[in-house]
Every structure is written in C-alpha cells, then in structure tokens.
C-alpha cells in the first residue's frame, strides 16, 4: 500500500551527488570542476587534495559523497569509477554595497554556486 519507488535519474552504472550554496562564483568553481572531469576518482581526489584553490575542499567533499552513494546505494565498485560529468550552476547572489565618492554607491556582489558530480563505473579492459 506504500508509495512506489521513484525512478532513477541516472543509469544503472552511475551515481551522483550535489553540493549547493558554495560561496564562490560559478566561473571560479568551473575551473575546479574542469580539473577533475573524465579522471579516475582516485586521481581526482588527489588533485583536489593538493589544489591551491580554496573551494577545492568543498568539491572534494561532494566527490566523496558521490563515491559513497555509488558504493552504498547502488553497489558499484569504487576501484572502477570515473568522474563522468561535473557541472556548475548559479545560485543566489547576496547584494551588498559600499558608499563611494560624491554620494554614489558601489555595488558588491557576493555570488553563490552549486556543483553536481556524476560518477560512472567503467569495465576494466583486459
């Protein structure tokens, strides 16, 4: 009598995770996302660990969440996972300001963004 299961939003060999409200601009976040696209997850985690960019730690947490979703929720093998897709979206923008000369007002935009990371299990070649 209960509710039916929701259909999967990704294929049977995929899993994803999403991080919202990251305090950086989408343009800067996309540079970090481009750094990990198409790589094996071990290499992507190593790149994020030693990256100098401030937001790389939050992206690493999202990637670890996607790996955990793949392992625990979908029963995928962690050793054969690759970062299939990583895309960035805009979120809200806090609008702040500062008084400037001659009675003017300087706008200060504080953007937020979000990232979605999809991991895919690949077959090992012989």
Does pTM top 0.95 for this prediction? no
> What pLDDT, on a 0 to 100 scale, did the predictor assign at position 57?
97
| Whole-number Å distance between alpha carbons of 63 and 68 | 9
> What pLDDT, on a 0 to 100 scale, did the predictor assign at position 20?
97
> What pLDDT, on a 0 to 100 scale, did the predictor assign at position 1?
65
> What pLDDT, on a 0 to 100 scale, did the predictor assign at position 125?
67
User: Out of 3.40.50.970, 3.60.21.10, 3.90.470.10, 3.40.50.1370, which CATH number does the structure's domain 14-121 have?
Assistant: 3.90.470.10
The encoded tokens of residue 100 equal: 């400037």
What does pLDDT average to in each consecutive run of 10 residues of the chain (126 residues)?
Answer: 82 95 97 97 98 97 97 94 97 97 97 98 78
């Amino acid at each position: 009598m209960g509710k039916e299961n929701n259909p999967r939003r990704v294929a049977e060999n995929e899993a994803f995770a999403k991080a919202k409200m990251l305090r950086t601009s989408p343009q800067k976040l996309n540079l970090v996302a481009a750094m990990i696209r198409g790589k094996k997850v071990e290499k992507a985690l190593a790149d994020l660990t030693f990256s100098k960019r401030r937001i790389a730690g939050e992206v690493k947490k999202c990637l670890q969440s996607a790996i955990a979703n793949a392992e625990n929720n979908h029963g995928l093998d962690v050793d054969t996972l690759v970062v299939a897709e990583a895309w960035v979206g805009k979120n809200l923008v806090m609008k702040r300001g500062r008084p400037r000369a001659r009675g003017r007002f300087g706008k200060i935009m504080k953007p937020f963004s979000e990232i979605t990371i999809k991991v895919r299990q690949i077959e090992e070649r012989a």
